[in-house]
Chains A and B, each alone.
Chain A
Amino acid sequence: MSPAEQSQRRKSTRNGWLLSAPALTLLFLAASGPLLIVLVYSFLTPGQYGNVVWEFSLDGWVGILFTRDIFDGTTNLADAHLTIFWRSVKLSLMTTALTFALGFPTAWFIATRPPAQRAMWLFLITIPFWTNLLIRTFAINEVIRNEGLMNTVLIGAGLISEPIRIINTDTAVFIGMAYVYLPLMVLPLFAAIDRFDMKLLEAGYDLYASRLQVLRHVILPIVKPGIIAGSILVFVPSLGAYVTPRVLGGGKNMMIGNFIELQFGQGRNWPLGAALSMALLLIVMAALLIYVRASTKGNNPHG
């Protein structure tokens, strides 16, 4: 490279940084930077009326899994916390599984429509995707609550005499999350299936594979990056869900997100809330790392 070219290149790099600087500043001020403060707060002591006292303590992190008995000072596993973590993980996994079971046929259906219709079906999935999560949670709430549409119709038709009471249960949160996160599963699955070469199916059938064998040995392995992407996109927000469990779980059926909020409200234990937030962030980062690993592996030429 000639000196002139080198200086040209340096100038281009400098301009690149200068142009990106305002965005970086904004995000550092109101997104990334504050996360560091949360990390610091997780190592402090809770103040009496909320907030923190600037004294180093590991109680926030210990408090995630253990409680200290205020009378004899012994440390025990915090069963109430474990119940909340287990509920969060269980409901998120169930949501991921159900959205996949429903989303895969849907994505396949859209991808195999004639090109002229495809955009319309895709648009129909995109609208709920961009619609306010609160509105969608509210919509499903109106359908499944005790005096809601489902029960009104079923009782009116004489099929049941008592309303099906699922609101404020884990089931309601599960149905709600599957409903609101379904488009997040369908879109990446569609993107993967859309790239899938349908001639491979002909090859499979020519070799006397059954439909099930073709699905299991040809389709699923090839669209695997889409399956992983969709699963991460559903699992991550499910794990950190706040609005859906709050509206449909009725306060008792908390998930991690609501538990974190509790620590900053009535719980008055900011360090525990901060430690829980950091733990949630770590789990999410681990999930994203798995995704990156799996998707770079998926880029290897197939066959």
Chain B
Amino acid sequence: MAERSFEVSRLPGFATVAIVVFVLLYLPILTLVVFSFNSGPSVAVWEGWSLHWYADAWNNEAVKGATARSLIIATCASALATTVATMAALGTTRRAAFGGQTFIYVVINQPLMVPEIVTAVALLILFGVVKQATGYQGLAYLILAHAAFCTPFAYLPIRARLEGMDLSLETAAADLYANPWQTFRHVTLPLLAPGIAAGAMLAFVISLDDVVITEFVKSAGQDTLPTYMLGQMRRAITPEVNAISTALLGLTVVLLTLFFILTRKKN
């Protein structure tokens, strides 16, 4: 039976197109990775294996600064986003439906709907006014902006996890005279932990990848890795940018793999 339905679902040419698509999808990325190990200065002509572009990137003060900034922003923003997203997920699931729930849902997911360039322009204007009024030029603007657009990415997996948990264990804890805080700390939180970790990872990856909003919000000398790379692309391209890209790519793949392991355990 299974075999027959499999045969029926075959559409001529589809598998060929799919294989071509996968090749086209990965060929540019693999090229990028391979040429990051090129010993020569070209990103198209192979001259042999070398790690010196990684060494160059590692010793480049601008890259070091941008990496540190990217990591600080992503850490702070994902921590903030995950905290508010966890609270909001607890507030909007597993209770009697209330008026305004849709409103909360729409506001939280709003960054997924508004084009990035529009948010970027809006924050440029707002933070410009605040910067002038307060004189403060630090990283807090970037952290706040990142936390806001990362919140839906943290919220969705946490909410999904919560929806799969019923209230019976919490009720049992309450029956055993645990107060609400104890119940949350010792029952809800441990059960919810994989969802929170998954949400935090997505938020971290999203923050690390952002170009457009960062480009508009950053003050002078506040390049993150992606905006630094965007700036470099105007000049002659060397495999140094490939090396940075490959490192960033590696970090993303590791975090995503962890994300999939965390969310799969649930089933």
Contact = CB atoms under 8 A, between A and B. Distances in A.
Contact of A280 (B117, B126, B147, B256): B117
Interface stretch (B51-59, B93-101, B168-176, B190-198): B93-101
A84 interface: no
**How many residues of A sit at the interface, in one of the four size bands?**
35 or more
Given A26-B84, A201-B5, A280-B118, 15 more contacts: A12-B96, A13-B99, A19-B92, A20-B88, A24-B104, A34-B123, A38-B118, A135-B249, A138-B32, A149-B44, A151-B44, A198-B8, A264-B124, A277-B122, A281-B118
Contact of B14 (A24, A109, A114, A123): A109
Contacts of A149: 31, 44
Contacts of B208: 132
Contact of A16 (B27, B98, B151): B98
Contact of B212 (A131, A140, A242): A242
Contacts of B44: 142, 147-149, 151-152
Contact of A109 (B18, B95, B122, B237): B18
A182 B22 CA distance: 11
B113 A12 contact: no
Contact of B87 (A23, A110, A257): A23
Is the contact region of chain A dominated by helix, strand, or loop, or is it mixed?
helix
Given A26-B151, A32-B107, A130-B252, A205 B98 contact: no
A82 interface: no
Given A109-B18, A138-B233, A280 B115 contact: yes
Interface string B40-77: 00111100000000000000000000000000000000
Contacts of B37: none
A20 B104 contact: yes
B28 A142 contact: yes
B41 to A, nearest CB: 12
Contacts of A139: 28-29, 31-32, 245
A265 B126 CA distance: 16
B220 interface: no
B165 interface: no
Contact of B117 (A112, A124, A257): A257
Interface stretch (A60-68, A100-108, A222-230): A100-108
B118 A41 contact: no
A30 to B, nearest CB: 4
B97 to A, nearest CB: 9
Interface of B: 4-6, 8-15, 17-19, 21-22, 24-29, 31-32, 35, 42-45, 80-81, 83-85, 87-88, 90-92, 95-96, 98-101, 104, 107-108, 110-111, 113-126, 128, 144-145, 147-149, 151, 155, 205, 208-209, 211-212, 216, 226, 229-230, 233, 237, 241-242, 245, 248-249, 252-253, 256, 260
A96 B99 CA distance: 37
Given A34-B122, A124-B22, A9 B96 contact: yes
A68 B133 CA distance: 35
A284 interface: yes
Most buried by A among B11, B147, B237, B249: B11
Contact of B18 (A41, A105, A134, A240): A105
Interface string A121-143: 00111111011111110111111
B121 A142 contact: no
Contacts of A112: 6, 9-10
A295 B144 CA distance: 34
A255 B124 CA distance: 20
Given A20-B104, A284-B115, A143 B28 contact: yes
Contacts of A106: 17-18, 21-22
B87 A274 contact: no
B122 A102 contact: no
Contact of A13 (B27, B88, B98, B114): B98
